Amino acid sequence: MFARVDDTPITVDECTDAVGDATAGAVVSFAGVVRNHDEDRGVTWLRYSAHPSAQTVLEEVAHEVALAHPGCRMAAAHRVGDLGIGDVALACAVASAHRAEAFAACAALVDEIKARVPIWKEQGFTDGSTEWVAALG
């Protein structure tokens, strides 16, 4: 299992590399990418902030999802700090012998990260305003 929260750029490749091996018939990945809008408002930047427990909680989530999906290997990385449009904020990968299990586990991993890891984002809009958005939930 691989899990990290920090301010360095992340890629899906680092997650897929961490889980893939000769037994994996499927590797499913997810990239949460900073987009240029939020509903009807133009977004120019995001800033993610993490509680000091975020790394530990991310590790717990990955471990629990792995236990719930036997035979699956998990990797997840969440970036904090200042991000621009197109940057990867969350990358996950799951490897399994079969695709159905890998897809289900990857979806569960992303959902649990969003629900439980204490990371919040502030987004900047094209009109100069900002807004804090809880990444939880």
Model pLDDT, residue 5: 98
Instruction: Report the distance separating Cα 12 and Cα 76, nearest Å.
Output: 9
Q: How many domains does the chain have?
A: 1
Average the pLDDT over 57-74 and give the result: 97
Check whether 16 has a pLDDT greater than 60.
Answer: yes
Residue 126, domain member (yes or no): no
Domain around 103: 2-35+52-118
Residue 42, domain member (yes or no): no
In the predicted model, what is the mean pLDDT of the chain? Answer: 95
Check whether 137 has a pLDDT greater than 50.
Answer: no
Whichever domain contains 83, its CATH number is 3.90.1170.40
Contact status, residue 77 vs residue 14, Cβ threshold 8 Å: yes
Instruction: Report the distance separating Cα 133 and Cα 64, nearest Å.
Output: 26
